[in-house]
Amino acid sequence: MSSQRRLPGRVAPAPHRQALQAAPEGRVLAGPPGPNLVSAAVDRPLVTDVEIEAFSTDGVVCLRGAFGPEWIESLTRGLDRSMADTSERRRTWDADERGGTTIYDSQCWQHVPEYREFVERSPMAEIAGRLLEATAVNFFFDAVFVRSAVVRFRTPFHQDEPYWSVEGFDTCSVWMPLVPVAQESTLEFVRGSHRWNQRYRQQNFGALTGDGRDQVRYDAQDDLVPFPDVEGRRDDFDVIGWAMEPGDVAVANARMIHGGSGNLAPDRDLRVFNTQWLGDDVRVAIKPEGMDPDHTGVITAAGLAHGDRVGGDFYPELWRREPIPD
């Protein structure tokens, strides 16, 4: 898998934006936000050139105050709604000696209206497009992570993109906490690991959940190398992370090695809304094994084949860069 990326011409930083509206530069392909989600302006550019460069070089950037309280309140309502419903994709991990629980669910945006509102009408698609310096951005899928207070279980270090039914370098994985996150409980990243250009044997999360649906095997891929022992050799790696507040987002390339987000205090839970975005070089890549989530059925039902660019109702294009006038 090549780590080379196409770099469209650099554009001027976007103008200041409203907390719940995409900035006017560039074309947002969904409708405007509903009137109940209008907010006062957040006094920062959508993304800056410094943040674009940090994303390219480090593979991750923390955008402070990227979303106003109305978005946080809306997504919190959506999370409460989705947790009250059953989902065939929900997984519960009880791997904690103190009784804490970790819940994961995904691909809920089409039936949770608050999630759909964020995906289609928030500035997130444009933020992804500008950080990727992309021509266009498609939405891939959403996920939520809910950890109860006192959970000590840490997500093992892994990458996201190798599990996906697509392949490409131009990707964004957005970690958006809906509650305050202390430094010792945050998601951590190995700086620059998105450019290591190495194919690793990923974590089998089925071994953690005890659920046969989550078993990830790599028997047919003998060119994979053992995953780095980041947790056991932390001093050998440049591990970074941030204490975060609601409204902050950590945006990472999906090839970044990352993990953690456990070690919660007795009075502090963790509620995270996560979205994945695809840029110019990403193509369908149905793998013989190891996909999680496995989108093979959705992709084939949409008439897409290996090597196609994603699109359609399930993977909508939500932002496209307008050419700069002469």
Q: What pLDDT is attached to residue 195?
A: 96
- Strands (DSSP E) contained in the chain are 16-18, 27-28, 41-45, 60-63, 91-93, 102-106, 136-147, 155-158, 166-167, 171-177, 187-190, 239-240, 249-252, 258-260, 270-278, 283-284, 317-320
> Tokens in use for 114?
């608050």
Q: What are phi and psi of 207, to 5 degrees?
A: -70, -20
Q: What pLDDT is attached to residue 114?
A: 98
Give dist(CA 314, CA 140) in Å, integer: 8
For domain 48-307, the question of CATH label 2.40.160.60 is answered with: no
Give dist(CA 216, CA 206) in Å, integer: 7
C-alpha atoms less than 13 angstroms from C-alpha of 202 in its C-beta half-sphere: 27
Q: What pLDDT is attached to residue 99?
A: 60
Q: What pLDDT is attached to residue 325?
A: 62
Contacts of 319 (CB under 8 A, 6+ apart): 22, 26, 27, 28, 29, 125, 126, 128, 129, 136, 137
Q: What pLDDT is attached to residue 8?
A: 32
Give dist(CA 167, CA 297) in Å, integer: 17
Q: What pLDDT is attached to residue 14?
A: 33
Q: What pLDDT is attached to residue 12?
A: 30
Does residue 92 contact residue 128 with C-beta atoms inside 8 Å?
Answer: no
Give dist(CA 200, CA 202) in Å, integer: 6
Q: What pLDDT is attached to residue 98?
A: 60
Structural domain boundaries in the chain: 48-307
Q: What pLDDT is attached to residue 238?
A: 98
Per-residue pLDDT of the chain (326 residues), as tens digits, is: 433 333 333 233 333 233 333 333 454 455 444 434 433 335 567 999 999 999 999 999 999 999 999 999 999 999 999 888 867 777 776 655 566 777 888 889 989 999 999 999 999 999 999 999 999 999 999 999 998 887 777 788 999 998 899 999 999 999 999 999 999 999 999 999 999 988 887 776 666 666 665 556 666 566 788 889 999 999 999 999 999 999 999 999 999 999 987 778 888 889 999 999 999 999 999 876 656 677 888 888 889 999 999 999 999 999 999 875 66
Contacts of 80 (CB under 8 A, 6+ apart): none
Q: What pLDDT is attached to residue 101?
A: 76
41: β partners: 18
Give dist(CA 228, CA 232) in Å, integer: 9
Q: What pLDDT is attached to residue 70?
A: 98
Does residue 145 contact residue 104 with C-beta atoms inside 8 Å?
Answer: yes
Give dist(CA 47, CA 20) in Å, integer: 15
Contacts of 111 (CB under 8 A, 6+ apart): none
